[in-house]
Amino acid sequence: MKKLWAFALLLISASLHAQQIRIATEHISLVYRVNQHGRLIQQYLGSQLTPSGADTLIQNNQEAYITAGMESLLDPAIRAVHNDGNPSLELRYVSSTTTTNNGVNHTAITLKDPVYPFTVVLHFEAFYKDDIIKTWSEIKHTEKKPVKLTAYASAMLHLDANKYWLTQFHGDWAKEADLQEQYLTTGMKILDSKLAVRANMQQSPFFLLSLNQPSSEETGTVLAGTLAWTGNFKFGFEVDELNKLHINAGINPYASDYSLEPNETFTTPAFIFTLSDHGKGIASRNFHRWALANGVLDGYSPRLTLLNNWEATGMDFNEEKLTALFDETKKLGVDMFLLDDGWFANKYPRNADNAGLGDWEPNKTKLPHGLGYLVKEAEKAGVKFGIWLEPEMVNPKSELYTQHPDWILRLPNRDEHYYRNQMVLDLTNPAVQDFVFGVVDKTLTASPGIAYIKWDCNRMLTNAYSPYLKDKQSHLFIDYTRSLYKVLDRVRAKYPHLPIMLCSGGGGRTDFGALKYFTEFWPSDNTDGLDRIYIQYGYSHFFPANTISAHVTNWGKQSLKFRTDVAMMGKLGYDIKVSDFTPQELQFSQEAVKTYNRISDIVWYGNLYRLVSPYQENRAVFQYTSEDKTKSVIFSYLMNVGKNDQFNLVKLQGLDPAKKYRIKEINLFPGSNSRYHFNQVYSGDLLMKEGIQLLPGWASSLTSNILEITAE
């Protein structure tokens, strides 16, 4: 009997050891196997190999989801402290399942501790045509008392290359998404945020990782990854003593020990990544294609062009001023007028940023007839009406602050800390969730016809204490983000397709955790045309153009044409005093809006090629090409050109080599003629192999050109 039992155990062990699990897209393969100890091992991550199945011959032995307290010396993906105080966890393979829905393969791998009733399920969604893999984990247990989690990664990936180069997107207010690339040496490099509510204010939650050598747009192996989470995040890049790289991605566990109740499931946010063997350009296009269909609300729906009043009026306005701007909106030719900050509060009027925030009734002095009157007047003028909200925040000088001091995140025995003269509401409190939803719902129901919301969030979380969470303060950072999603779920249940801009003092919230609720985001308060080239260049690595709001303003010393050409690469808007335009500037802007409406489908949904980087030359060139390769638009910008600058021909991409194309400059300023002489048709093959000269005998700083390329 003992021999039979031993033989059965041997068969089970052999069966597990033979178990292999493949998560695959058209060009990417991620393979796991089970070793002789029942542990899940990442066997391969890379491009699809031929013949099929060749990746299973690679014999890596790194545990897929490393646990704390056992034998590994690496930074763990998960750490748990059990009821008896034992801080160890072992995870052994139990089972895996794969299902397919709408072309997406979902694989779930179940792992369990052999000693404690503790389970982790690793989830993977493989988007075959997009070459995107989305992965997250579920953590649960049935111990008698809560288990303390001190680490809970969404994913762990292991790579083996000669060298590694990490590109991060760092910055601050008005200088967001600045590229910084560095060679990774032995040890740990961490990209993280501890700012919670405005988590992305300095460090963006996405990265590029080049293997063996720095990648270019068209060459090199690069992994692009991001976390779908609107809160504290952490990416750990650990190069071990064998020169292997281990990526740990998930919620930042800083000050966030989590008490997991029996039978409760802790679901981590998704880590989303792609892998390209042909440079950063393909990685970006993979993300754009995936985001339009899966990552952004109504990705393939038209976006509204708009005129914002902020630069024209600030908070100093009344009904007469605003209704006059409706006529300017119509004259400009955009779809909508957006009323920004300053329209609300009566006891403490919102005339500056130090009062009124939280009191969301229209100011009777400025707007005696309310928002509904403005909506109707806008409709009479032939434009839509949008509104600015910042419902998660409060000024100390407000009725809300006085009436609900227990609704505010603040330390009970410290001086209050203000940023932009405001504080954060305790969204973990269900009553506050009801209030925030009510702000949105009341605004929309009281003034039917509001067509757009700009949802702002102008401060990070500091000096925070939740009266509602009481003895579970370490849950605050996690529960706040989850509570925000609860509110947004309610908003979207009632208003499923209302366009809403995700704004957070600029790029403080730029992630796919939030974008499933929003149609676009505000990448930066900095609208200087020159600076925006760099900012929009950075965001373009992960986000499609129709999500990147880009407004024409008076910021910067460039011409109106230059600033407009830059804004036309994203989701076009205006925040400018139209009445100050000269007749030629007004004519140019009106024609620019018409031109944008004509080419917007190519910009929004086409394939982006970053032909010349502003980090490498004193110019930048971008190309958007339709999926069928019949139309393309080139945006070319000269920056601060030096006398020794030499600019080569620019080779186009994404065209059909067999097609013939005609090139025409568009968006010209009235009274000017194109200095290009593209007076013939060109083969796609020639345009891609030989290129075109984008400097027709001149090179003047801060000038720009847009070229339209059409197949004949």
434 annotated as belonging to a binding site for a ligand:
no
456 annotated as belonging to a binding site for a ligand:
yes
145 annotated as belonging to a binding site for a ligand:
no
341 annotated as belonging to a binding site for a ligand:
yes
| Annotation says 426 is catalytic | no
Dihedral, CA of residue 258, residue 260, residue 264 and residue 267, to nearest 10? 30
**Dist CA 137 CA 34 (whole Å):** 18
What Rg do the C-alpha atoms of the chain give, in angstroms? 27
**Dist CA 434 CA 420 (whole Å):** 25
Helix (H, G, I), strand (E, B) or coil at 370: helix
470 phi, psi to nearest 5 deg: 55, -110
The first and second tokens of residue 404, run together, are: 């609900």
The DSSP secondary structure of 56-85, one letter per residue, reads GG----EESSPBTTSS--SPPSEEEE-TTS
The CA distances from residue 572 to 186, 303, 335, 374, 522, in Å, are 44, 9, 11, 23, 11
Helix (H, G, I), strand (E, B) or coil at 302: coil
> From the candidates 130, 131, 335, 456, which is the catalytic residue?
456
457 annotated as belonging to a binding site for a ligand:
yes
458 annotated as belonging to a binding site for a ligand:
yes
Helix (H, G, I), strand (E, B) or coil at 490: helix
- Which single residue is written with the structure tokens 């097609």? 659
| Annotation says 525 is catalytic | yes
- Cβ-based neighbours of 30, under 8 Å, separated by 6 or more: 22, 23, 24, 42, 44, 45, 124, 133
503 annotated as belonging to a binding site for a ligand:
yes
Spatial CA neighbour of 31 closest among 15, 20, 17, 18: 20
On whether the CB atoms of residues 43 and 33 are closer than 8 A, the answer is: yes
On whether the CB atoms of residues 144 and 83 are closer than 8 A, the answer is: yes
Spatial CA neighbour of 96 closest among 109, 84, 87: 109
- Cβ-based neighbours of 54, under 8 Å, separated by 6 or more: none
Give, for 273, the enclosing helix (H) or strand (E). Answer: strand 271-276
The CA distances from residue 695 to 94, 619, 628, 649, in Å, are 63, 11, 28, 9
The DSSP secondary structure of 517-557, one letter per residue, reads S-SEE---S---HHHHHHHHHHHTTTS-GGGBEEEE-S-SS
**Dist CA 159 CA 182 (whole Å):** 17
Residue 648 CB: number of other CB atoms within 10 A? 11
> From the candidates 160, 178, 257, 525, which is the catalytic residue?
525
229 annotated as belonging to a binding site for a ligand:
no
- Which single residue is written with the structure tokens 């050409």? 565
Binding residues for substrate: 173, 340-341, 420, 454-458, 503, 525
Binding residues: 173, 340-341, 420, 454-458, 503, 525
Just list the catalytic residues.
Answer: 456, 525
